[in-house]
Amino acid sequence: MNKAQYESLIPKPVFLEKRGGVCSLTPESKICVQAGSTWALQAAEYLAGRLRPLTGLPLPVEEAAQAFEPGCIYFTAQGAGTELGEEGYQLSTEEGCLIIRARGFAGFFYGCQTLRQLLPPAEGPWEIPGVFIEDYPRFPWRGSMLDVARSFFTVDEVKRLLDLLAAYKLNRLHLHLSDDQGWRIMIDSWPNLALHGGSGAVEGGRAGFFTKAEYQELAAYAQSRAITLVPEIDLPGHTNAALASYPELNRDGVAPGLYRGMKVGFSTLAAEKEITYKFVSDVLGELAALTPGPYLHVGGDEAHSTEDEEYRLFMGRVQDIVAELGKTLVGWDEIIQAGLRPGDLVQIWRKDTRPREAVRQGAKLIMSPCTRVYLDMKYGPETELGQDWAALIEVEDAYSWDPVSVYPDVGEEDVLGVEAPLWTETIHNLGDMEYMLFPRLLGVAEIGWSPRQGRSWEEYRLRLAAHGPRLRAAGVNFYRSGQVPWEER
Question: Which of the residues are catalytic?
Answer: 302
Q: Quick one: 398 or 465, whose CB is closer to ligand IFG?
A: 398
Q: Please state the closest distance from residue 348 (CB atom) to ligand IFG, in A.
A: 10
Q: Please state the closest distance from residue 33 (CB atom) to ligand IFG, in A.
A: 43
Out of 69, 302, 310, 487, name the contact with ligand IFG by CB under 6 A: 302
Q: What is the identity of the amino acid at 453? A: Q
Q: Please state the closest distance from residue 4 (CB atom) to ligand IFG, in A.
A: 35
Contact 387, 264 (CB under 8 A): no
Side-chain-side CA neighbours of 303 within 13 Å: the count stands at 28
Q: Quick one: 303 or 466, whose CB is closer to ligand IFG?
A: 303
Q: Please state the closest distance from residue 299 (CB atom) to ligand IFG, in A.
A: 8
Contact 267, 240 (CB under 8 A): yes
Q: Within positions 102 to 131, which residues make up the interface with ligand IFG, using CB under 6 A?
A: none
Contact 383, 373 (CB under 8 A): no
Q: Quick one: 118 or 427, whose CB is closer to ligand IFG?
A: 427
Instruction: Using DSSP, state whether 330 is helix, strand or coil.
Output: strand
Q: Does 423 contact ligand IFG by CB under 6 A?
A: yes
- Cα torsion 111, 117, 119, 121 to 10°: value is 140
Task: Round to whole Å and give the CA distance between 62 and 115.
Answer: 18
Q: Please state the closest distance from residue 182 (CB atom) to ligand IFG, in A.
A: 12
What are the b/e assignments for 237-274, b being 16+ CB within 10 Å?
Answer: bbbbbbbbbbeebbeeeebeebbeeeeeeebbbbbeee
Which helix or strand (DSSP H or E) is residue 101 part of? strand 97-102
Q: Quick one: 87 or 301, whose CB is closer to ligand IFG?
A: 301
Q: Quick one: 136 or 374, whose CB is closer to ligand IFG?
A: 374
How would DSSP label each residue in 358-388?
Answer: HHHTT-EEEE--HHHH-TTB-SSTT--SSB-
What are the b/e assignments for 109-138, b being 16+ CB within 10 Å?
Answer: bbbbbbbebbbbbeeeebbbbbbebbbbbb
Q: Does 379 contact ligand IFG by CB under 6 A?
A: no
Q: Please state the closest distance from residue 60 (CB atom) to ligand IFG, in A.
A: 48
How many Cβ atoms are within 10 Å of 306's Cβ, its own excluded?
24
Q: Quick one: 92 or 178, whose CB is closer to ligand IFG?
A: 178
Q: Quick one: 349 or 399, whose CB is closer to ligand IFG?
A: 349
- Asked if omega into 11 is within 30° of 0 (cis), the reply is yes
Counting residues that bind ligand IFG (by CB under 6 A) gives: 9
Q: Within positions 303 to 362, which residues make up the interface with ligand IFG, using CB under 6 A?
A: 332, 349
Q: Quick one: 224 or 387, whose CB is closer to ligand IFG?
A: 387
Q: Please state the closest distance from residue 438 (CB atom) to ligand IFG, in A.
A: 18
Contact 424, 151 (CB under 8 A): yes
Q: Within positions 236 to 265, which residues make up the interface with ligand IFG, using CB under 6 A?
A: 264
Q: What are the C-alpha distances in Å from 255 to residues 185, 199, 250, 424?
A: 20, 15, 6, 25
413, burial (CB in 10 Å: exposed 0-12, middle 13-18, buried 19+): exposed
Q: For the sheet containing 61-63, what is the strand order?
A: 15-24, 127-135, 89-94, 97-102, 73-76, 31-33, 61-63
Q: Please state the closest distance from residue 337 (CB atom) to ligand IFG, in A.
A: 14
Q: Quick one: 202 or 229, whose CB is closer to ligand IFG?
A: 202
Q: Does 39 contact ligand IFG by CB under 6 A?
A: no
Task: Round to whole Å and give the CA distance between 202 and 459.
Answer: 40
Q: Mask 140-169, x = binds ligand IFG (CB under 6 A)?
A: ------------------------------
- Cα torsion 134, 220, 433, 235 to 10°: value is -110
Q: Please state the closest distance from residue 52 (CB atom) to ligand IFG, in A.
A: 41
Q: Mask 41-80, x = binds ligand IFG (CB under 6 A)?
A: ----------------------------------------
Out of 134, 135, 301, 419, name the contact with ligand IFG by CB under 6 A: 301
Contact 484, 464 (CB under 8 A): yes
Q: Does 376 contact ligand IFG by CB under 6 A?
A: yes
How many Cβ atoms are within 10 Å of 356's Cβ, its own excluded?
15
Task: Round to whole Å and give the CA distance between 435 and 421.
Answer: 14
Q: Please state the closest distance from residue 147 (CB atom) to ligand IFG, in A.
A: 7
Q: Does 387 contact ligand IFG by CB under 6 A?
A: yes
Task: Round to whole Å and give the CA distance between 411 and 420.
Answer: 20
Q: Quick one: 222 or 335, whose CB is closer to ligand IFG?
A: 335
Out of 39, 108, 215, 374, name the contact with ligand IFG by CB under 6 A: 374
Binding site for ligand IFG (CB under 6 A): 264, 301-302, 332, 349, 374, 376, 387, 423
